[in-house]
Amino acid sequence: MIISSKQKTFLYGTVITFIIVAVVLGGTDLLRFQGKVKLGSTSSGSMPTSEDISANNVVNEGISSDGGGGGKVENSAPIEDPAPIEEEPAPIEEPAEPILDEAPPTPSIKTSNAAPLREGTIYVNNSTDSIFDSIAVAGADSASNPIPVANYKLYANGESFKITSLSLAKGDKTNEKAVEAVVIHYPTSLSAPTNLNGAASAVLKNGVATFSNLNFMIPASTGDEKAVTLKVFAITNNIGQGTNSGDQIELDFVKNAFLATGQTSKVSVTPDSPRLKVPDNKLYSNQVALYQSLPVYKEDFSSSFSPCAQNGKLTAYEATTPIYCFSVVANNAGDVALYKVTFDVEETGLNLSSLQQANGFNITEYDYTGDKIVGGKALGTGTWDSTSKQVTIVFEEERIISRGATRYYALNAPLIYQSSSQEATVSTRLIQENAKEHSANNYAANVPGGIVWSDISAPGHSPTNTADWTNGYRAYYLPTANLDLLCPANDSSCRVSSTQKVLN
């Protein structure tokens, strides 16, 4: 009988020991596996000891010659005790990778020290170099000389941008037919942002002008120190060819069709992007009113033929003392008519009873031919209001000034000194119109405001029968200078009691 043992180390150190007993009988090997198997687990995964292989672990039940068990073995030599078994440890196989229910952890990715890309933001606002509300001659402009309508300021934080598309929308009161085209100027270089060398034009369609294929560049800045300007202009149609006298133009910045690309992040900024900042989602432009022709006012204080050329000295000639002189020029586009003018008049040291007399102020016309008073009579009169310190003159007949012509007018006041020992002063200017709304297409007497004039655009024009009169709203062409005159105390040279008829 030969007894041998085998052991196998499995996963996590489990050891299985096999005891094999072989009996050699008459040249025939009869091999029968007989015994019990013990499964043991060791922490070190070492071979079992001899004590583990004992009668307690393997029970011989006997082997008969016929293969049966449990009987006496006949014709057999005595069975000697086996020699001690020298156990050679079997090589220990590496345990298999365990099967895990969870996914393996994601391997760490080596990152660079570079800062993450920052997506920038575009801000749009009205420029500090704004276009003030104004008036213009319709149709007198062109592509090379369009009417300024608005200036918008744009700046970028985080990165530079290239704008390829933007939109402008007409204001609620804008007559779309009056606008032939909308023109914009913008910078195309990040290194020269003040050079507005880019230009594009578009027409209003359903109230919106859309500009595409732009190369509008905005450099990056920390605040608005590198802000760029978007200038907006209009090319208009003539009166009667789509434009009505008094039509207004307003071109507002809107988000429609806006598209820009960050030059670092390559991310697009669209109308709905939170990185496009437009106050109230819309910026309102200034308004420009269109007329067939315009009057231009200018003070006339120092020319040799001006009745007001007194070198600042106030000489009282009672009712005919000229205290303000001005000229009116009609634009070359057409005739204009005057109906009413208003003046601010401040005084010291003068007799108020004389100043406040009814229709005490008047306007006369003078020219540069040597005649200081044309026609020798007043063209209109008015009464000074001591509360508002103003006087309004309504012409007895409208004063028509032909295209390209100039007319000169003097405001005369009834001045009497309060005292010969008291200094007397008077300061006068054309009123700076404070009308809050544009007033066009109205009869002359119904127009509110201190200055009323007409571009004579209606057929059969007259103050009472045609509604082509307007006020001085947006009339920033009005001169702002005051004519300040002074008569020092006890100066007899400027105290004349006689009434002056002609100023020589």
pLDDT digits (tens, 9 = 90+) for 167-182: 999 998 899 999 999 9
pLDDT band at 473 (very low <50, low <70, confident <90, very high): low
Three-state DSSP state, 52: helix
Q: Which of 167, 181, 172, 184 is nearest to 254 (CA)?
A: 167
Rg (CA), the chain: 53
Q: Which of 338-342, 356-360, 492-496 has the lowest mean pLDDT?
A: 492-496
Predicted pLDDT of residue 89 = 56
Question: Within 10 A of 438 (CB to CB), how many other CB atoms are there?
Answer: 17
Q: Which two tokens stand for residue 479?
A: 């001169």
Kindly tell me if the per-residue pLDDT of 22 is higher than 80.
no
Q: Which two tokens stand for residue 461?
A: 């024009």
Kindly tell me if the per-residue pLDDT of 81 is higher than 70.
no
pLDDT per residue as tens digits for the range 327-352: 999 999 999 999 999 999 999 988 89
pLDDT band at 303 (very low <50, low <70, confident <90, very high): confident
End-to-end CA distance of the chain: 163
Query: What residue ranges do the domains of the chain occupy?
Result: 1-97, 121-291, 295-494
- Of 2.60.40, 2.30.29, 1.10.3470, 2.40.160, the CATH number of 121-291 is 2.60.40
Q: Which of 84-98, 244-258, 299-313, 414-428 has the lowest mean pLDDT?
A: 84-98
Predicted pLDDT of residue 129 = 84
pLDDT band at 105 (very low <50, low <70, confident <90, very high): low
| 97, HSE (Cβ side, Cα atoms, 13 Å) | 4
Buried-exposed string 105-124: b where 16+ CB fall within 10 A, e elsewhere: eeeeeeeeeeeeeeebbbbb
Predicted pLDDT of residue 310 = 65
Q: Which two tokens stand for residue 203?
A: 């027409």
Average per-residue pLDDT in the chain? 78
Question: Sign of the CA dihedral 454, 326, 407, 355?
Answer: positive
Three-state DSSP state, 358: coil
Average confidence (pLDDT) over 276-296:
91
Kindly tell me if the per-residue pLDDT of 80 is higher than 60.
no
Question: Within 10 A of 457 (CB to CB), how many other CB atoms are there?
Answer: 22
Three-state DSSP state, 446: helix
- Plot region of 45 (φ>0 → left; ψ -120 to 50 → alpha; else → beta): left
Kindly tell me if the per-residue pLDDT of 163 is higher than 60.
yes
Predicted pLDDT of residue 321 = 85
Predicted pLDDT of residue 144 = 81
Q: Which two tokens stand for residue 165?
A: 């598309």
Question: What HEC string does 95-137 produce?
Answer: CCCCCCCCCCCCCCCCCCCCCCCCCCEEEEEECCCCCCCEEEE
| 415, HSE (Cβ side, Cα atoms, 13 Å) | 29
114 or 141, which is more confident: 141
Q: Which of 69-78, 110-119, 238-247 has the lowest mean pLDDT?
A: 69-78
Predicted pLDDT of residue 82 = 52
Q: What percent of the chain has pLDDT over 90?
A: 46
- The set of residues, in sequence order, having a beta carbon less than 8 Å from that of 417 and lying 6+ positions away, is 316, 349, 350, 351, 424, 487, 495
Percent helix, strand, coil in the chain (nearest 5)? 5, 40, 55
Predicted pLDDT of residue 329 = 93
Q: Which two tokens stand for residue 154?
A: 């744009």
Q: Which two tokens stand for residue 400?
A: 């028509």
Kindly tell me if the per-residue pLDDT of 13 is higher than 90.
no
8 A C-beta contact, residue 232 and residue 150: yes
Predicted pLDDT of residue 116 = 53
User: Which of the residue ranges 323-332, 369-378, 478-487 has the most confident prediction, judged by mean pLDDT?
Assistant: 323-332
Rounded alpha-carbon distances, angstroms, from residue 171 to 94, 140, 234, 285: 83, 22, 13, 8
pLDDT per residue as tens digits for the range 232-244: 999 999 998 999 8
Three-state DSSP state, 178: helix
Q: Which of 212, 207, 211, 202 is nearest to 234 (CA)?
A: 202
User: Which of the residue ranges 221-230, 239-248, 414-423 has the most confident prediction, judged by mean pLDDT?
Assistant: 221-230
153 or 45, which is more confident: 153
* Long-range contacts at 68-77 (CB < 8 A, ≥ 24 apart): 69/34, 76/25
Centroid of chain to Cα 415: 55
Q: Which of 65-74, 326-335, 340-349, 468-477 has the lowest mean pLDDT?
A: 65-74
Kindly tell me if the per-residue pLDDT of 485 is higher than 80.
yes
Kindly tell me if the per-residue pLDDT of 257 is higher than 50.
yes
Burial tier of 414 (Cβ tally within 10 Å: 0-12, 13-18, 19+): buried
Predicted pLDDT of residue 83 = 54
pLDDT band at 76 (very low <50, low <70, confident <90, very high): very low
1 or 393, which is more confident: 393
Quote the pTM value.
0.69
Angle at 11 between CA 9 and CA 13, to 5 degrees: 55
Predicted pLDDT of residue 211 = 98
Predicted pLDDT of residue 301 = 83
pLDDT band at 146 (very low <50, low <70, confident <90, very high): very high
Identity of the residue numbered 263:
Q
Helices (H), 171-212: none
120 or 99, which is more confident: 120
454 or 498, which is more confident: 454
Predicted pLDDT of residue 207 = 96
8 A C-beta contact, residue 149 and residue 251: yes
pLDDT band at 79 (very low <50, low <70, confident <90, very high): very low
| 318, HSE (Cβ side, Cα atoms, 13 Å) | 7
Centroid of chain to Cα 404: 41
